[in-house]
């Protein structure tokens, strides 16, 4: 669905341009569960924000369904892509169901009245993510993991081909990390949605993802975890004196 | 759904309360008129004394309508600001919007003595007063908006509002040094805030302004709800942020500026009413909040005005004193129960 060609991302302030990452090229098929990994500050979030049209690219092209993403109107775009960001929501006084229902905004009328179709979509998302017990809770009463699931349910409710998530597993314990990532993976495979997320959990990405984009200072590598491993890319990810990649077990180890 | 029914009941109660506060406000005043006679007059009957009829129709009823418009308009503008700035302490008074209006009016009333000589105009009427107040509040609102885009800190925004208040106070004190006593008094009376002294034609202008602002708020309901998630999320839901933000700012400027022009800077209604309403209705959905805040604002200001006119005495307290006595504790309570600072 996504075709990204020679993309350069960064920030343009007045006449000064700061390029964060360059030469990014990859393609995704429907149902792809894809991770974007790389060290802190390498531009993972910038890439995700650029893909989500929250900031403009510097050069290159991003095609969605063979159309440049800039061509979509605001509402068309909202029906194609939903996002889960790291920034906290403005009002934590919303109830879980109110928040999830907001995902239907691209489809509702001028005042946002929910139809039967909308309610079915909302209930389906709540069931999929397993939030039935929390429906009437206020967001400030939820734990980080619960809130992350609510945000995911909202994105599912938006009924888009693509879901972009910025560090969905950060701040969660191991169990909840695995839980969220497995949920995302099954969602991608069952519904054919393309799910792209940034993460620091490279171990888990290797085990769970269909494709990984590794962002580095000089070059970006994209491929299946297996292809990347046989190309020896993982070995170059971190400085060898701190973290080494063990090819046998496909895990990273601390170099003592 | 059960919630829909309970909303309906709550709205019915609010409407009844508004009606009750309206009648109560009309029946009490410096001249004692029996309650029965008041009702009789409102319903179009004859009264024992013609003067009562005159007082009620030409003084008390316009004042009560004005109180509703002022209260509703301010409360609504407060709600819009709280959502737009993602700040539970936002309101026309706290963010300096009222100060902006005051500055506009101060420049017009007291500065006109210089300008009159230079430009050859010296008339101050309600229209020019309204325009000056609206321009002043709109400019401050724009300034706050620009600052808000740069600083994400909610507290910084409030301090900026405070600074605008200080700047206004400073300019007013400089102006008052050069102006004559009569003009200074005119300004000070205006700054006390009052819902009285409005004729029917003036009232119709104010109701048009508040009407347009309210209509715009209703149109903005969907994007206001999306903004509860923050601007990036709202954008991802198909909301055109730039256009909607400007639309909401204009609505806010009309409501806060228009009201302040006619009634003077009235404190705390805009800040406190949205919070009180959220407490009662227990929702953040603007589809419920906008009509509820509108009704609640009207009721509260009617009651404040009833208190301010000190029934059966010739004294009238400045309405600002009453709204501050009620509003300031609400803000303190909000700060103490930090959890409820969420909006």
Task: Give A-chain residues touching B283 at CB under 8 angstroms.
Answer: 95, 98
Residue predicted with more confidence, A49 or B318: A49
Rounded distance between C-alpha atoms, residue B185 and residue B143, angstroms: 29
Q: State the average pLDDT for chain B.
A: 85
pLDDT of residue B113: 66
pLDDT in tens, A56-95: 999 999 999 999 999 999 999 999 999 999 998 988 889 9
Please name the residues in contact with A78: beta carbons below 8 A apart, sequence gap of 6 or more: A105, A106, A158, A160, B236, B237, B238
- The per-residue b/e assignment along B228-250, b for 16 or more CB within 10 angstroms, e otherwise, is bbbbbbbbbbbbeeeebbebbbe
Q: Where does the pLDDT of residue A235 fall: very low under 50, low under 70, confident under 90, or very high at 90 and above?
A: confident
Is B340's pLDDT higher than 70?
Answer: no
Which of B222, B220, B217, B227 shows the shortest CA–CA distance to B293?
A: B217
Measured between beta carbons, which residues in chain A are less than 8 angstroms from residue B222?
A: 105, 108, 110-112
**In this complex, is the C-beta atom of B34 within 8 Å of any C-beta atom belonging to chain A?**
no
pLDDT confidence bin for B2, thresholds 50/70/90? very low
For A240, phi then psi, to 5°, come to -65, -25
A119: contact with B, CB 8 A cutoff: no
pTM for the predicted model, two decimal places? 0.91
Lowest mean pLDDT among B248-252, B302-306, B308-312: B308-312
Name the residue among B228, B232, B283 with its Cβ closest to that of A87. Answer: B232
Given A93, A111, A158, which is nearest B284 (Cβ)?
A93
Among A221-235, B43-57, B129-143, B175-189, the range with the most confident prediction by mean pLDDT is A221-235
Element (H, E) at A252: strand A251-254
Mean pLDDT of all residues in B48-52: 82
- Cα gap A129→A146, rounded to integer Å: 10
Give me the pLDDT at residue B119, please. Answer: 47
Confidence of residue B3 (pLDDT cuts 50, 70, 90): low
Of B96, B108, B106, B104, the C-alpha closest to B140 is B96
pLDDT score recorded for residue A127? 95
Name the nearest CA neighbour of B252 among B89, B74, B65, B104.
Answer: B74
- Answer whether B255's CB lies under 8 Å from B73's CB: yes
Measured torsion, CA atoms of residues B234, B240, B244, B245, in degrees rounded to the nearest 10: 70
Task: For chain A, report the end-to-end CA distance as a whole number of angstroms.
Answer: 43
Say if B284 is an interface residue toward chain A (CB within 8 Å): yes
Contact B30, B59 (CB under 8 A): no
- Mean pLDDT of the A225-250 span: 88
Query: What span, in angstroms and rounded, lies between the C-alpha atoms of A160 and A30?
Result: 12
Cβ–Cβ gap A83/B226 under 8 Å: no
B238 and A79 within 8 Å at the Cβ level: the answer is yes
Q: Is B228 on the interface with A (CB under 8 A)?
A: yes
């Amino acid at each position: 669905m996504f075709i990204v060609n020679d993309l350069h991302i960064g920030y343009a302030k007045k006449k000064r341009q700061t390029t964060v990452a360059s030469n990014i090229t990859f393609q995704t098929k429907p149902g792809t569960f894809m991770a974007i990994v790389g060290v802190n500050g390498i531009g993972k979030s910038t890439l995700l924000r650029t893909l989500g049209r929250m900031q403009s690219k510097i050069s290159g092209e991003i095609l969605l369904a063979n159309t440049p993403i800039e061509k979509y109107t605001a509402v068309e775009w909202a029906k194609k892509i939903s996002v889960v960001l790291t920034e906290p929501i403005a009002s934590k006084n919303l109830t879980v169901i109110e928040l999830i229902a907001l995902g239907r905004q691209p489809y509702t009328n001028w005042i946002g009245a929910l139809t039967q179709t909308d309610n079915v979509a909302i209930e389906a998302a709540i069931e999929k993510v397993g939030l039935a017990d929390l429906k009437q809770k206020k967001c400030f009463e939820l734990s980080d993991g619960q809130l992350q699931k609510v945000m995911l349910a909202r994105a599912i409710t938006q009924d888009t081909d693509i879901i972009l998530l910025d560090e969905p597993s950060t701040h969660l314990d191991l169990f909840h990390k695995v839980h969220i990532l497995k949920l995302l993976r099954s969602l991608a495979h069952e519904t054919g949605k393309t799910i792209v997320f940034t993460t620091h959990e490279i171990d888990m990405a290797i085990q769970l993802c269909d494709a990984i984009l590794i962002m580095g200072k000089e070059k970006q590598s994209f491929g299946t975890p297996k292809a990347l491993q046989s190309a020896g890319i993982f070995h170059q990810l971190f400085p060898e004196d701190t973290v080494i990649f063990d090819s046998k077990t496909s895990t990273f180890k601390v170099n003592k | 759904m059960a919630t829909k029914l309970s909303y309906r009941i709550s709205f019915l109660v609010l409407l009844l309360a508004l009606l009750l506060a309206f009648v109560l406000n009309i029946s009490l005043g410096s001249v004692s008129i029996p309650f029965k006679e008041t009702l009789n007059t409102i319903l179009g009957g004859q009264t024992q004394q013609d003067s009562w009829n005159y007082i009620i129709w030409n003084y008390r009823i316009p004042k009560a309508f004005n109180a509703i418009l002022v209260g509703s308009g301010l409360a609504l503008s407060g709600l819009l600001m709280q959502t737009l700035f993602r700040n539970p302490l936002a309101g026309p008074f706290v963010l300096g919007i009222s100060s902006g209006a005051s500055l506009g009016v101060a420049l017009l009333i007291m500065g006109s003595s210089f300008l009159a000589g230079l430009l050859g105009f010296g008339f101050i009427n309600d229209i020019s007063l309204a325009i000056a107040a609206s321009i002043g509040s709109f400019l401050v609102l724009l300034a706050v908006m620009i600052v808000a885009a740069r600083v994400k800190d909610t507290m910084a925004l409030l301090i900026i509002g405070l600074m605008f208040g200080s700047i206004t106070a400073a300019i007013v004190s400089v102006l008052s040094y050069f102006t004559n006593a009569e003009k200074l008094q005119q300004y000070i009376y205006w700054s006390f805030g009052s819902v009285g002294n409005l004729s029917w034609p003036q009232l119709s202008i104010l109701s048009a302004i508040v009407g347009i602002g309210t209509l715009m708020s209703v149109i903005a309901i969907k994007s206001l709800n999306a903004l509860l998630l923050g601007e990036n999320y709202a954008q991802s839901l198909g909301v055109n942020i730039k256009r909607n933000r400007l639309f909401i700012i204009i609505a806010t400027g009309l409501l806060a500026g228009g009201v302040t022009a006619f009634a003077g800077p009235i404190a705390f209604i805009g800040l406190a009413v949205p919070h009180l309403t959220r407490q009662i209705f227990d929702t953040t959905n603007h589809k419920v909040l906008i009509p509820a805040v509108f009704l609640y604002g009207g009721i509260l200001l009617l009651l404040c005005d009833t208190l301010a006119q000190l029934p059966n005495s010739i004294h009238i307290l400045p309405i600002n004193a009453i709204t501050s006595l009620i509003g300031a504790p609400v803000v303190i309570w909000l700060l103490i129960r930090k959890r409820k600072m969420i909006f």
